[in-house]
Amino acid sequence: MPDTSPLAVCVGEGMVALIPASAVPLEDARTFHRSLAGAEWNTAIALASAGIRTAVVSRVGDDGFGRFLAAELRRHDVDDSAVEIDDEAPTGLYVKELSPLPDGSIGGTMHYYRTGSAAAAMTPALLSAPAASALLAEAALVHTSGITPALSPGARAVQDELFAAPREGRMLSFDLNWRPALWRGREDEARRLLTGYARRADVLFCTRADAEAAFGTADPDALRATFPEPRRLVVTSPAGAIAFDGDERTESEALAVPVVETIGAGDAFAAGFLAGILTGLSLTGALARAHRIATRALASTRDHVD
């Protein structure tokens, strides 16, 4: 029998991350291991790990890195049927530079090599291709982030089409993911654009730091007053999260666990919260699930749960 459980579709850029084997300056790093990266792809893997039927809509290059990324999706039970292969543009990647922090955890600095990538060549035609169109028609949830529209005019048009399309009962989830390096020289334009997406989302995620930079305030109640349109708003910080569902407000503390590195934890948190919503959990229950899945991303230097 066909699987009729809720389907989540994540739309955005996938990349290969090259991660040093030790926390040393990049010029001293001799050995790297590769890993899947990209906010929406990280979220997709975490959703699948939570038992949610999940697919990715994106583009990769016709190269070894692209084949690795598609294989990683399949290994984590994520549908890659709508990941297009570009026979000209390469798969994007970034190199992570690790450094020890005073609290014993590891800090990560990303060095991106994504200009001209296959994902940056996205256009709205991606969404109307047969595989993607079928997935989007079935989706109970579509998830994307503020990274996608920064990649290129075509990628921005993809995002615009997702937000303009009839919802027909499906939720649209938007993670702010403010990345100033991607918007350099276009910061005011970015704030206007991302504010518009935030207002049209059904579920809005943002960290306090990103909200301060993009929206001018980090206060969760002020953010709720500014963004009354999304049914659910989730504001996170290292200490925990405050979530709103309509007029309901719930606060939760982060779980006390050893932290190796924090990159990717926000994507896992979003996945846990969305998995909770899709399976009918209360706001409190969805937050609890989000924290549990986020701890798995905190336990390694990979960007995604495993």
pLDDT for the residue numbered 106: 78
Within-domain flag for 247: yes
Dist CA 303 CA 38 (whole Å): 8
10 close to 136: Cβ distance less than 8 angstroms: no
Q: Catalogue the active-site residues.
A: 267
> When comparing pLDDT for 98 and 172, which is higher?
172
Within-domain flag for 30: no
Average pLDDT across the chain, whole number: 91
Domain of residue 228, residue span: 7-13+39-58+76-84+120-297
Tens digits of per-residue pLDDT, 10-42?
Answer: 999 999 999 888 888 889 989 998 999 999 999
Within-domain flag for 215: yes
- Type of residue found at 216: G
Within-domain flag for 29: no
Within-domain flag for 232: yes
CATH of the domain at 52: 3.40.1190.20
pLDDT for the residue numbered 98: 85
Within-domain flag for 203: yes
Dist CA 299 CA 282 (whole Å): 27
**Coarse DSSP helix, strand, coil percentages of the chain, rounded to the nearest 5 percent:** 40, 25, 35
How does residue 258 score in pLDDT terms, banded at 50, 70 and 90?
Answer: very low
Q: What is the pTM of this model?
A: 0.92
pLDDT for the residue numbered 122: 97
Phi, psi of 185 (to 5 degrees): 85, -5
> When comparing pLDDT for 305 and 60, which is higher?
60
Within-domain flag for 191: yes
pLDDT for the residue numbered 26: 87
What's the number of domains the chain is made of? 1
> What's the chain's length in residues?
306
Residues paired with 171 in a beta bridge = 141
Tens digits of per-residue pLDDT, 68-92?
Answer: 999 999 999 999 999 999 999 999 9
pLDDT for the residue numbered 253: 87
Tens digits of per-residue pLDDT, 177-230?
Answer: 999 989 999 999 999 999 999 999 999 999 999 999 999 999 999 999 999 999
Within-domain flag for 139: yes
Look at residues 115, 95, 116, 15 and name the one whose alpha carbon lies nearest to residue 58: 15
pLDDT for the residue numbered 21: 87
pLDDT for the residue numbered 300: 53
Beta strand 240-245 with 232-237 is: antiparallel
Dist CA 57 CA 128 (whole Å): 11
